[in-house]
């Protein structure tokens, strides 16, 4: 399995606040981190995984210098998947967030985004672009036109399309014709299922690459929650991950590259599940891991290598009083 292009990671690496923060779980406690000069979350993450999905780009176009720093702080063989800015996939959300009242996009908007992430492309670290559409994005002529326009505007960049409304799976043949013709990967997703949720068979639709996202199965908190992070408070058991192990194994025999991201990020559950799935696939689980991760997620015992214990500080030697 190690010779295949299977990359497994998490959706995002920076979760510093809330009940589901990664500090003190995957990362060192915040106070200790502040005392440890030079600690860098992305560098630490890249010691454990060879890919990450960037979600922050959904909320704003990043500065080119920030993206260049991502490339500089990761190993040569690291790959980023970058989520498209909400302007391209969630026009109503974009209009509300910016107060512009204008949800129209043009080629200039796309070019600005492409220029911002160009340092990843130039460094050979851009794995794919993720176009995540909302559950309200239905299978219709206007949607087809928008997909065709967007993917053509993003030419030369591999694009994975996440669709959630069941109208797309009600016409599987038509959806496959559309995406195959555009050379885009149909994102396979695991999430709570409702009446209008998409149905998928997890098979790849293009030979170039395969893309899967696991969001968790917290149906009770999916639509109704006090904080957005609660939606992703779900831990897959090793048994629940086994079908995804089988899917990834089968898909990797049909495609050149496979990306699988865990988005159940609450309290670093995504990190634990990503490590477990890598182990199930026979992939190396690299890096030194904090004892807290193994304590919280016992299935990691025997899967990860824990950090060596810090040496105990030397106590001062008491000397007898000098005799005069």
**Rounded to an integer, what distance in angstroms lies between the CA atom of residue 68 and that of residue 126?**
12
- With residue 261 as reference, give the H or E element that holds it: strand 257-262
List per-residue pLDDT tens for the chain, 324 residues long.
334 589 999 999 999 999 999 999 999 988 765 555 678 999 999 999 999 999 999 999 999 999 999 999 999 999 999 999 999 998 777 776 766 666 678 899 999 999 999 999 999 999 999 999 999 999 999 999 999 999 999 988 999 999 999 999 999 999 999 999 999 999 999 999 999 899 998 889 999 999 999 999 999 999 999 999 999 999 999 999 999 999 999 999 999 999 999 999 999 999 999 999 999 999 999 999 999 999 999 999 999 999 875 443 444 444 444 443
Flag whether 319 is in a domain. Answer: no
Give the tens place of pLDDT for each residue, 214-234. 999 999 999 999 999 999 999
DSSP code per residue over 2-54: TTS-EEEEEE-S---SSTT--BTTTBPPHHHHHHSTT--HHHHHHTT-SEEEE
For the sheet with 257-262, list strands across it.
Answer: 185-186, 159-162, 126-132, 79-83, 51-54, 6-11, 257-262, 209-214, 188-190
Q: Apex CA 216: angle with CA 214 and CA 221, to 5°?
A: 145
- Is pTM beyond 0.85? Reply is yes
104-to-13, 52, 61, 86, 182 alpha-carbon distances in Å: 31, 30, 16, 12, 22
Using alpha carbons, select from 211, 292, 202 the residue that is nearest to residue 21. Answer: 292
The encoded tokens of residue 116 equal 């911002």
Residue 216 DSSP class: -
Residue 323 confidence (pLDDT)? 41
Its domain, for residue 200, covers 6-306
Residue 135: CB atoms within 10 A of its CB come to: 15
Are the beta carbons of 114 and 157 closer than 8 angstroms?
Answer: yes
Instruction: Give the per-residue pLDDT at 36.
Output: 59
From CA 213, how far away is CA 198, in angstroms rounded?
A: 14
Number of domains in the chain: 1
Q: Name the token pair of 291.
A: 């004892």
Residue 166: its pLDDT value, please?
Answer: 96
Q: Looking at the domain assignment, is residue 268 inside a domain?
A: yes
Residue 314 lies inside a defined structural domain of this protein: no
- 318 located within any domain: no
Query: Does residue 321 form part of some domain?
Result: no
Q: Tell me, what CATH number does 262's domain have?
A: 3.20.20.410
Beta bridge partners of 159: 129
Would residue 141 count as lying in a domain?
A: yes
| Domain contains 60 | yes
Size of the chain, expressed as the number of residues it contains: 324
Evaluate whether 265 touches 12 at the Cβ level (below 8 Å). Answer: yes
pLDDT at 133: 96
Residue 321: its pLDDT value, please? 44
Going from the C-alpha of 247 to that of each of 145, 222, 243, 254, 315, the distances in angstroms are 31, 25, 6, 11, 55
Q: Quick check: is 133 in a domain?
A: yes
pLDDT of residue 314: 42
The rounded distance, in Å, linking the Cα atoms of 80 and 55 is: 11
């Amino acid at each position: 399995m190690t010779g295949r292009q299977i990359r497994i990671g998490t959706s995002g690496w920076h979760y510093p606040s809330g009940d589901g923060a990664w500090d003190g779980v995957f990362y060192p406690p915040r106070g200790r981190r502040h005392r440890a000069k030079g600690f860098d979350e992305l560098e630490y993450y890249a010691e454990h995984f060879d890919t990450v999905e960037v979600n922050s780009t959904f909320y704003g176009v990043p500065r080119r210098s920030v993206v260049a720093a991502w490339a500089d702080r990761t190993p040569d063989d690291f790959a980023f998947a970058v989520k498209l800015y909400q302007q391209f996939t969630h026009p109503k959300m974009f209009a509300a967030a910016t107060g512009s009242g204008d949800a129209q996009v043009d080629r200039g908007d796309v070019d600005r985004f492409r220029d911002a992430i160009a340092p990843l492309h130039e460094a050979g670290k851009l794995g794919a672009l993720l176009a995540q559409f909302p559950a309200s994005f239905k299978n219709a002529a206007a949607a087809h036109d928008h997909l065709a326009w967007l993917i053509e505007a993003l030419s030369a960049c591999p694009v994975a399309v996440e669709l959630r409304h069941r109208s797309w799976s009600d016409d599987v043949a038509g959806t496959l014709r559309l995406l195959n013709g555009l050379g885009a990967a149909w994102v396979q997703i695991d999430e709570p299922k409702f009446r209008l949720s998409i149905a998928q068979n997890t098979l790849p639709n293009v030979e170039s690459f395969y893309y899967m996202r696991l969001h968790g199965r917290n149906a009770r908190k999916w639509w109704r929650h006090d904080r957005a992070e609660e939606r992703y408070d779900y831990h897959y058991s090793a048994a629940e991950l086994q079908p995804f192990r089988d899917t990834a194994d089968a898909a990797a025999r049909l495609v050149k590259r496979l990306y699988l991201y865990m988005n159940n990020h609450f309290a670093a559950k995504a990190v634990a599940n990503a490590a477990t799935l890598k182990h199930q696939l026979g992939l190396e689980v690299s890096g030194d891991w904090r004892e807290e991760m193994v304590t919280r997620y016992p299935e990691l015992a025997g899967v990860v290598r824990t950090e060596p214990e810090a040496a105990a500080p030397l106590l001062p030697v008491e000397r007898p009083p000098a005799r005069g």
